[in-house]
Chain A
Amino acid sequence: MTDLNLDHIERLVEPGRVHRRVYTDPEIFDLEMDRIFGRIWVFVGHESQIPRPGDWIRGRMGARQVIVTRDEAGALNVLDNRCSHRGMRICLKDSGHSRRLVCPYHGWAFNHDGALAGVPAPRGYTKKSTDLTDPAFALKSAPRVDLYRGFIFASMAPDGPGLVEFLGDIAAALDNAVDRAPDGEVEFAGGVVRQEFAGNWKMHMENACDLVHPGYVHQSSVDAARDHLRDASPGSIPQQAIQMFNGNGISLDEWDALGVYGFENGHCYMDGFYRGGMVDPAMADPVFTRYRALMVDRYGEDRTAEILGRDTFNNLIYPNISINTRFQQFRVIQPVAVNRTHIYSYSMRLKGAPEEMFEMSVRFVSTANSPSSPVSSDDFAIFEGAQAALANGDSEWLDFSRRLGDEQKTGKAAVRDSGTSELPMRTQLNAWRNLMGVP
């Protein structure tokens, strides 16, 4: 037991350590759903998933299940997937197209902006207490929905910083994801890969820029890839996933030659993975050469070099997005319960690029970000082991103090440190503390 109570939630996060309840307490999880996922900008989908009026997809804002729609006027709406009559889930599939959103239970029909459009057998409802024109019978909608270069975000708070302000410097990662398309647009394609692990959602975010762990957790896939490449026929270009497994095998000094960055609002990334660490022989692939030529046609040599040279890896948008632009990967970390998390992985197709670029991206996801991944399965095994161990209350605190105080200010709203610093986790936990401390 601890004397820390939820009125003083900020005491659970100190500069270099965090209380284990942050990962294990169901009440804290519920508060996170209100104070983080119920307030700040949360990614809910990509425009390419709902191109036409009448299209909709299901999405999540933390535990809240939503429908993201494009209405007749072309506007985007984020609605609770819960009927205003007696609470039935309205959309039963992951995506669809329809003129109205019709509840399967008693047939109430809603427009794509959430307004109640029609009620079968209205007389019984409207006689006395029920006024169907009352806006309370519209589907609850997110008060703010905004788009950044095709990525749809929503916020359940009626006011607060705008999306661009919230993203700050990490917007550059979304820019880079889109700029890599010769036609300046990406689409989510190939279907979503959904995985789960029995651990807290923050573990996945904290692990993504933890550059000490690969040398330990991923030793088996590092050795496997290295030995494979040693024995492979010379001259063959290995697929990207195998190169990435191998790339995890650099030394701690080499990881330290990379940088990790923390930004306002909890965003982070690491840079220099290709320059300082692994080589990227896929660049020599003929497909990549053709793709690069298309980019030069469109943007010119200098701008192309700048776009393709942006070497940031695991770009993390707080609270739950991880983007890897080099492999056209977009991942969403979905909290389900305090000890259960889903991961959704998407491939981004670069419009105007050779189709083989997309095929490489799909192959990368199927190999490195799928349930069979030799890399992420080790991460998940670690998260599950940590979650199970944290349930035991004997030791109350987790340590996040590696290189605490060594970070350097760089730019307006950013700090940087050497690769193996625990700066990225502290950045996220600071944001957590700031958000969770506001009742």
Chain B
Amino acid sequence: MRNAGKIDDLLFIREIEEFLFLEARLLDGRDFQAWADLFADDGVYWVPMREGQHDPLTEHSIFHDDKAMLDVRVRRLLHPENYAQIPASRTRHVIGNVVLDSKDLLHVRSNLVMFEYRQDAQRVFGADVQHHLRRAGDGFRIVLKRVDLVNCDAVHGYMSVPF
């Protein structure tokens, strides 16, 4: 009996992991439109600039995109004259330490490492990532993706590919 519940939990975590892996694969494959489509209409992609930041509206952020801005961002990322992406970045998102913060609310937490190679240089970003998900059909939609970079308040060069 206890084992059956445990297996259900594992299957559920696995289902969520597969969603996160799909998201990573879309980003690494530069399928940015499909990535943005993972967000709910009221979805938000947020990369704070300060550790423990509470609010994207009263403090500056590195990314703070609603669905409209995600749409603009994706259209631009795919534009041939996007000079910040000539040459394009090659990225690899690696996801680990996936845990459910709340099974009922579909709050998921994970660690992220992103390698980005572009123009003879490689950058590595590490982050604590929170996904707030919503059931949609037999999959999920992202209501909030919050990416807390280890170096959120560093002096940054420009960034193109989302974390």
Contacts and interface: CB of A to CB of B under 8 A. Distances in A.
A317 interface: no
B71 A371 contact: no
Interface string A213-237: 0000101110111011001100000
Contact of B75 (A198, A227, A365, A382): A227
B79 A224 contact: yes
A196 B57 contact: no
Interface string B93-130: 00000000000000000000000000000000000000
Nearest to A193: B60
Contact of B156 (A195, A219, A224, A238): A195
Contacts of A231: 71
B52 interface: no
Contact of B62 (A224, A371, A380): A371
B73 interface: yes
B8 interface: no
B71 A228 contact: yes
Contacts of B57: 359, 362-363
B81 interface: yes
Interface string B120-157: 00000000000000000000000000000000011111
A347 B158 contact: no
Interface stretch (A39-47, A239-247, A279-287): A239-247
Contacts of B68: 228, 232, 238-239, 242
Contact of A372 (B154, B155, B159): B159
B63 to A, nearest CB: 5
Contacts of A381: 83-84, 86, 158
A224 B78 CA distance: 9
A227 B33 CA distance: 14
Contacts, number: 124
B76 A224 contact: yes
A122 interface: no
Interface in B35-60: 47, 49-50, 56-60
A335 interface: no
Interface residues of B, number: 36
A190 B82 CA distance: 29
Contacts of B10: none
B51 to A, nearest CB: 11
B25 interface: no
B72 interface: yes
Contacts of B65: 367
Interface in A186-218: 189-198, 217
Contact of B158 (A195, A227, A385): A195
Contact of A370 (B62, B79, B84, B160): B62
B3 to A, nearest CB: 46
Contacts of B153: 194
Contact of A190 (B59, B75, B83): B59
A367 B69 contact: yes
Shortest 10 CB-CB contacts between residues of A and residues of B: A377-B158, A220-B79, A224-B75, A224-B76, A377-B84, A371-B156, A220-B82, A359-B57, A366-B64, A381-B83
25 contacts: A191-B50, A191-B60, A193-B49, A194-B153, A194-B154, A194-B156, A197-B157, A197-B158, A198-B157, A219-B81, A220-B76, A220-B82, A221-B76, A224-B75, A232-B68, A241-B69, A242-B68, A345-B60, A358-B58, A367-B65, A370-B62, A372-B47, A372-B158, A372-B160, A373-B158
Interface of A: 189-198, 217, 219-221, 223-225, 227-228, 231-232, 238-239, 241-242, 245, 342, 345, 347, 358-359, 362-363, 365-367, 370-374, 376-378, 380-382, 385
Given A196-B155, A223-B75, 13 more contacts: A191-B49, A219-B81, A223-B79, A239-B69, A342-B155, A358-B58, A363-B57, A370-B62, A372-B63, A374-B76, A378-B82, A381-B83, A381-B86
